[in-house]
Structure formats: structure tokens, C-alpha cells
Amino acid sequence: MKGRCPVCGAESNLEFTPYKIPYFGDIMLSAVSCPSCGYHSSDVILLSEGKNRNRHEMRVSSADDLNATVVRSPYGRIEIPELGVSVEPRKGESFITTVEGVLMRVERVVKMLSREEEGARKERAERILRRIEDIKAGKAKMKLIIEDPTGNSAIIPRN
């Protein structure tokens, strides 16, 4: 489908994809991309009734828990208290991934931000990265929290 870019007004690509997530329900993935200016936005919209909650928590205590599905709308705030990390909502940025995928996103950002750091900040980044590796190996535990005032985010464990 075609539409107008909200930034530059050029013809843009609009995509709407229905998606069913077991134990969560029907959602609609939407994406807008503009080949002219590079604008991109994505969203997750809950279509099913009754499943939406504003807060989801999952205790990650084994490598198997890393396979839980994470749905984050652009209004969802992710927190991992054991790492001292929070991922603030960002308009136009939604995703469906796994707990491991969330950890990989955090890992990439920590590595990028710590490249030029020294001293205590560099040590903190290295501690966070070691802790992520321990969690991924099943040697450490963490709690994943998503808060979303729209109720369009979720953590869905694999059974």
C-alpha cells in the first residue's frame, strides 16, 4: 500500500501484517518507510480483547527462558534491574523478539556506548556484558519487566 511520508510528503510504503501469537492473541504489525528521506516507523497493535495488561514480568533463570517471546510496542518500557538497564519507549520503534534478542540489543548498545569510556564507566560496562553472558549461559538470573500503558506489549513464555 502507498501513502504520504509524514516527514517529507513523498510517496511511502505502508505495510500492515496481521499476526497471531499463541497465548497472546491477534496483533497487527504496521510499518511505514520512505525511500526518499529514509523515515521509518513501526507499531504493534493488539487486536484481541481481554489479554492486555500494563505490566509484564518474567523471571529468567535458565537458558530455556531465553526463548520466551517479547512483544514491545512503541510505548513499552523494558527494565532489567539486575543489569541496571532500562530501555525507554521510542515512537515508531516496536518489535517482536525473544528474551535473548532483548539481551542482544542491550549488549550492542552497551558495547557501542562503552567504546570511548575509561575508568569506572568502562568497568561498569564490562560488568554488564559479563552478566549478560552469564545469563545467556544459564549461570545467572534476571527479571525482565515491560510496562506499557497501552497494554500492547507482552512477555510470552514458551511451554
What are 94-142's pLDDT values in tens digits? Answer: 888 999 999 999 999 999 988 888 899 899 999 999 999 999 999 999 9
34 pLDDT more than 70: yes
What CATH number should be reported for the domain holding residue 63?
2.60.120.1040
Q: How far is CA 14 from the centre of its chain?
A: 21
The range of the structural domain enclosing residue 13 comes to 2-156
What tens digit of pLDDT does each residue of 22-33 get?
Answer: 766 788 888 899
Number of domains within the chain:
1
Mean pLDDT over 80-87 rounds to 94
48 pLDDT more than 80: no
